[in-house]
Structure 1
């Protein structure tokens, strides 16, 4: 197909989503290299993202550009490339999240550099969706999320809590300070463990460099915030069995995960290559099948629109702090990170992606499950909290 024909097709597709080429709206794109059209048409999301990285095109409001594409279902109009079909086939056959590969996948993203995340995230380094009700800042919204998570787990002083995928220890530190519990966290990121141990110094918190499949000890409660996306469909059942063997019979397990509307064996090609290698977004059906016969589902909430606001806050932070980072990270890296944050924000805004918090028990909570309305209604009050 010649260049003019390709250009005509891409322009027409974008127009159907309300996006103009070289238009005046903030969501319109400006094309600087005509090869953009063939890259976008024949290579799909990978070609679209890589051509952006290479400066073939730009857009003032990438988040709105992607929102319009997703709300119009334009992504489904472009036929899948042969390469993508092969990737999907391989993902269905092979386990891309087996222990050795899972470690490499995780380290590629989470070991990118602590300075990057310190300049992007809240003061506690919470790399998961914040809850924005009654919050005006990212710090407040993340503390809302951490507090709600503790209340959903019905934490009491003296409990021992397992944090699967603990990051830099934000939940562990908060729960130890505010709810008087001991926390053991596991992650596969060396950088997270190193900094997290410093941040949690002096508290009853232990952070370990360990794959979740190696866990075999009992805890009063288990939390996993934003880690299940890296588990992979081949391992969902094993993950739930590990959580069950580590949870005491009367304990609660809080699973906080991004969720998808349609089951897929593979994630977006560009995100898989440049941001989250091997990550797969689970669906309700997949989670339901994984917990069947192992856990009782006590509570399920969707906070998806909160992730839009969280990602936009991270983007604003990294943009505001770019002068502190640009000596170590080049302009291509900045374009990658911008594309990642804004395209993901659009996915939640368009309701293509969800954010779920799911409370599970092993035997069903006698008399039914409930969430404390506030920390004052929880077993540990502000007056009894451990000071940082």
Structure 2
């Protein structure tokens, strides 16, 4: 069976017709697509889309069907995946020296891009759509939910690990009267976060989490743990434990996956989040169980599908205003990125967890919040 026949058969089994009439059917523009995907797997699928070798009217639905069917497992493991796994085993890909790569590759793309596609607080993580009709309200719901889970009170000193553009720090300081220290490794984020939080009891530091040495009443990390890496999970928890007061509360907001992995998808690693990896439940619990007591584990990953599709909608609307800063391949890259991430949550492959932890040395009567 040649490459075209194999790929077409695999797609047919997933309910997709090559050059078919359904919105989720793939339209092939270049027949080199078949050998590319067979050779490079998910990396080849994403790259060939970026290069215009294929199109699809309902890209999110197409990718959802591929993931739901397990299409990526039908194509043999390629050299790119093997190299990623070997590198993850042999090296610490999220060491202090390597950690800033994701900031240079993604978070420093330009604040203007993110200002156009995100909400008013510029939260680049899953929103909480319960009783929300728009992105701004859904993200504000998420921020308030986090504050209530942390049991914030006026005067609390709060550490935000991976503070992004300062959205949580701004919201918590304004609405709960707390002092916030935010740390990020992205210079673009730190600059804008400092401006957004001016005149508030907020300090933004351009610093790696491993360099923090200060006691806090509460610690939160929103959408940053995915960049920590499996080799550093225990180190991350050590840092939180060392800097959290004995009666403190820590909330971890992170994407999670069903399987133990030490690498991410090769296309995501190369083009979006280098050196990232999505943790499994056992990997997270193994990292915290010796030092922390689990108080709450809340999964609302289904809301990430809604969040990503809203980012995609806003990205498409904003493109005419920002396209002079990028190129057409960047547009297709971001379109593919947002769609495949939405598909991964829609399929139940990925989840969104909010995990609340307290120190084992302190007995706290914690009441869960929804």
2:199 aligned with 1:202, yes or no? yes
Question: 1:150 — aligned with what?
Answer: 147
The C-alpha deviation readout for 1:188-245, integer Å capped at 9, x for no partner, is: 0000011111111110000000000000110000000000000000100000000000
Residues 77-86 or 22-31, more deviating: 77-86
Which of 82, 93, 98 aligns to 1:96? It is 93
Shift of 1:103: 1.1
* CA distance in structure 1 between the partners assigned to 2:331 and 2:291 by the alignment: 43
* CA distance in structure 1 between the partners assigned to 2:369 and 2:142 by the alignment: 14
Question: 1:227 — aligned with what?
Answer: 224
> Could you state the TM-score of these two structures normalised by the residue count of structure 1?
0.94
Question: 2:263 — aligned with what?
Answer: 266
Question: 1:192 — aligned with what?
Answer: 189
Residue aligned with 1:250, SS? strand
Alignment of 1:73-222 (within 5 A): 73-222=70-219
Shift of 1:366: 3.7
* CA distance in structure 2 between the partners assigned to 1:305 and 1:372 by the alignment: 18
2:292 aligned with 1:295, yes or no? yes
2:37 aligned with 1:40, yes or no? yes
Residue aligned with 2:274, SS? coil
* CA distance in structure 1 between the partners assigned to 2:361 and 2:109 by the alignment: 41
The C-alpha deviation readout for 1:108-150, integer Å capped at 9, x for no partner, is: 1100000000011001100010000000000000000000000
* CA distance in structure 1 between the partners assigned to 2:369 and 2:284 by the alignment: 25
* Alignment gaps of 5+ in structure 1: 374-388
* CA distance in structure 2 between the partners assigned to 1:200 and 1:345 by the alignment: 31
* CA distance in structure 2 between the partners assigned to 1:21 and 1:237 by the alignment: 46
2:307 aligned with 1:310, yes or no? yes
Residue aligned with 1:208, SS? strand
Shift of 1:92: 1.4
Contact 1:224 1:254 in 2 (8 A): yes
- CA gap of 1:147–1:315, structure 2 versus 1, over 3 A, is same
* CA distance in structure 2 between the partners assigned to 1:146 and 1:105 by the alignment: 24
Residue aligned with 2:367, SS? coil
Question: 1:378 — aligned with what?
Answer: none
Contact 1:128 1:226 in 2 (8 A): yes
Shift of 1:364: 6.8
Question: 1:251 — aligned with what?
Answer: 248
Residue aligned with 1:99, SS? coil
> Could you state the TM-score of these two structures normalised by the residue count of structure 2?
0.98
The C-alpha deviation readout for 1:313-361, integer Å capped at 9, x for no partner, is: 0000000111111111111101000000000000000000010000000
Question: 1:324 — aligned with what?
Answer: 321
Contact 2:246 2:362 in 1 (8 A): no
Residue aligned with 1:258, SS? strand
Shift of 1:367: 5.8
The C-alpha deviation readout for 1:55-93, integer Å capped at 9, x for no partner, is: 000111111011101111111111101332132122112
Residue aligned with 1:157, SS? coil
Contact 2:162 2:183 in 1 (8 A): yes
Residue aligned with 1:253, SS? strand
Residue aligned with 2:119, SS? coil
* CA distance in structure 2 between the partners assigned to 1:172 and 1:83 by the alignment: 39
Contact 1:297 1:360 in 2 (8 A): yes
Contact 2:103 2:185 in 1 (8 A): yes
* CA distance in structure 1 between the partners assigned to 2:139 and 2:219 by the alignment: 19
Shift of 1:372: 5.0
Contact 1:250 1:363 in 2 (8 A): no
* Alignment gaps of 5+ in structure 2: none
* CA distance in structure 2 between the partners assigned to 1:326 and 1:198 by the alignment: 25
Question: 1:342 — aligned with what?
Answer: 339
* CA distance in structure 2 between the partners assigned to 1:175 and 1:296 by the alignment: 24
Report how many residues are paired.
Answer: 370
Contact 1:106 1:277 in 2 (8 A): no
